A and B are shown apart, each in its own frame.
Chain A
């Protein structure tokens, strides 16, 4: 699909999430804008604490009560019958977090799996119970056709029966590669390995045929070999189910394998976005370049991108100008510590936030003065 014809599924515009905590305000997400297109995989990468999970939770409208969300998050609902035109644009950020609208989307249109496969299932319920619970909420069977009008089929929907739900659960477990699914459907979480639990979480998520699967570091807690299996599985299921994936990770090796497009985040800010090939072959932002310099070898497992020099600054004491400047190898004194770069398209479809690029300099007179002064000094 060419860029022009891509179907947007979720659009995020200028998203901010602030937490008012005792020591001050944490800008957990500080201006993120990206689109997720139908059937595509968007990768989100950044160090721990940069706001990846919060961005995902904002899409699910599951930000904890203390958090303040601004910006626009829109979900484009497609008609399930006929031509599949967009029938509804839902502002997810404006839905009631416990209301019916978002509950239909959560798990139904947008499913999410979390970082902690070990504790994502309620310990007292079986694998099947979890899948069946989701199926009962979101899946309907088309009953007999009651008539066709103007080329559209009008079909009655009925809820899934208990027996059908169990069938679906077993079928899903089989599809995610759980051996002996008819038996495993009755297994409790503690009877499954970490990899199996994450497979079950994927089965739960996919059992409702969502349009988007948000996978928040789904393999971080798993062995490298299991990680590869889970990634293969997700890719395979994505093809058969025509589903978009928002894949969150701090592992560039993983994201190179799965993503079509990548968003790089640093301290709540989106610092670079482009298609995967451009990010890897021609990274623009010094932070991305540093990340690329620290890709773990194949087979090596790292929990942190520790090879980037310097520490992530405290969220209460943000560096002036570009927040990356204390760690940046391309730091330009007098510029980077004075001017906060804007997010600009620095090449075709390639966005970055760095003063190395003219487009990122704000139009304000102060900023322009700094720029010109520095140019004069060169």
Chain B
């Protein structure tokens, strides 16, 4: 097991290097870099010191040197915790991401909790009462949920909330708390905002999860061990939860690892953009469009990092819940 983890971590590191390099190359591909534009812009405004500052960056990050050197400079700083500078904001990437990371994690955890709390019981109900009226209704709603994109739902919610209900649902904080230091009141204010994007995320995520849960459970019900569990005289409820759901939950754990972890940063970016959330998603989109290379590169590497961590965690959890899984 120890050897397994070490080997996996080793592969993960190699993977991260490859991904960081490829993304770095792709991001710097378009002709002309961000700084050229910035200088042109600043000089047009007659800002000399800015031009000087930009030259400093250029030297520090080796922007006039070959791509490989640039990459090397960036990545060697990266592993020391210096992710580079956001040219757009003129501040360290680390600082910008750090501010938003807590909110991103909070949002994705809330979304996930909502999703599972809704999807697992509904999926189980749907499977146990296959073809019943309840199952039909759940299935229909689930398909609608799969069909509606999250951002559209977000737009609808915005419209209803602002135009009809006259409620403030944009962002994660009310105006007066936006830049205020953390306090109980601010946390409460956050809670009041957080459920909107979390629920939107849950509605779109729930649908698929219900279908997966239902399908797996129906497959499991056909297995011989379910019949023998019933023949032992167990209650239907015990058979379903202790024997069937326990076996059918595995694919959800896999999804949890492969989607939820990277989803912390890149889960529902469009929804976050529409609702104007101070999370990492919108920052990332903006960085991509403005060629804010260190910002974009950093987020991309972090997403891949989370994906790899998620895979490792999935394997460990699977080995823990299913004795047949061998870690080799």
Contact = CB atoms under 8 A, between A and B. Distances in A.
B231 interface: yes
B133 to A, nearest CB: 16
B228 interface: yes
Contact of B231 (A98, A107, A119): A107
A186 to B, nearest CB: 10
A133 B239 CA distance: 11
A103 B235 contact: yes
Contacts of A122: 225, 229, 243, 246-247
A116 interface: yes
B225 A120 contact: yes
Given A104-B233, A108-B233, A124 B322 contact: yes
B82 interface: no
Interface string A172-195: 000000000000000010100000
Given A120-B227, A123-B247, A134-B233, 4 more contacts: A105-B233, A116-B224, A124-B323, A190-B323
Contacts of A98: 235-236
A204 B234 CA distance: 13
A92 B1 CA distance: 51
Contact of A119 (B225, B246, B323, B324): B225
A162 to B, nearest CB: 16
B58 interface: no
Interface pairs A-B: 3 shortest CB-CB: A107-B233, A107-B232, A106-B233
Nearest to B229: A122
B233 A138 contact: yes
Contacts of B227: 62, 114, 120
B232 A106 contact: yes
A112 B231 contact: yes
A111 interface: yes
B234 A103 contact: yes
Interface of B: 223-225, 227-236, 243, 246-247, 321-324
Nearest to B227: A114
Contact of A106 (B224, B230, B246, B321): B230
Given A119-B225, A122-B225, A124-B323, A133 B232 contact: yes
A54 interface: no
Given A122-B246, A124-B322, A188-B324, A137 B225 contact: no
A138 B233 CA distance: 8
Given A124-B247, A190-B323, A119 B233 contact: no
Contacts of A243: none
Nearest to A65: B130
A106 B231 contact: yes
28 contacts: A62-B227, A98-B235, A103-B234, A105-B233, A107-B232, A107-B233, A108-B233, A111-B231, A114-B228, A119-B224, A120-B228, A121-B225, A122-B225, A122-B243, A122-B247, A123-B225, A123-B323, A123-B324, A124-B246, A124-B247, A124-B322, A124-B323, A130-B232, A133-B232, A133-B234, A137-B232, A137-B234, A190-B324
A246 to B, nearest CB: 13
A244 interface: no
A122 B236 CA distance: 15
Given A124-B322, A124-B323, A119 B234 contact: no
Nearest to B228: A120
A120 B230 CA distance: 11
Nearest to A123: B324
Contacts of A115: 224
A123 B225 CA distance: 8
A28 interface: no
Counting chain A CB atoms within 10 Å of each CB, which of B223, B233, B243 scores highest?
B233
A138 B234 CA distance: 10
A36 interface: no
A119 B223 contact: yes
Nearest to A126: B323
Interface string A129-159: 0100110011000000000000000000000
B327 to A, nearest CB: 15
Nearest to B232: A107
Nearest to A134: B232
Contacts of A116: 224
Contacts of B322: 123-124
A138 B232 CA distance: 9
B324 A201 contact: no
Given A103-B235, A138-B233, A188 B224 contact: no
A124 B246 CA distance: 8
A60 interface: yes
A120 B224 contact: yes
Contacts of A108: 233
Contacts of A134: 232-233
A120 B233 CA distance: 15
Interface in A307-349: none
B196 to A, nearest CB: 38
Contacts of B234: 103, 107, 133, 137
A103 B323 contact: no
A62 B229 CA distance: 12
Contacts of B246: 122, 124
B228 A121 contact: yes
Counting chain A CB atoms within 10 Å of each CB, which of B224, B225, B229 scores highest?
B225
B227 to A, nearest CB: 7
A359 B235 CA distance: 47
B233 A188 contact: no
A277 to B, nearest CB: 32
A232 to B, nearest CB: 23
Interface in A75-120: 98, 103-108, 111-116, 119-120
Contacts of B230: 62, 106
B263 to A, nearest CB: 27
A301 B286 CA distance: 71
Nearest to B238: A133
Contacts of A130: 232
Contacts of B321: 124
Given A124-B246, A124-B247, A190-B324, A103 B233 contact: yes
Contact of B228 (A123, A190, A201): A201
Interface string A278-321: 00000000000000000000000000000000000000000000
A115 B321 CA distance: 27
Nearest to B250: A124
Nearest to B243: A122
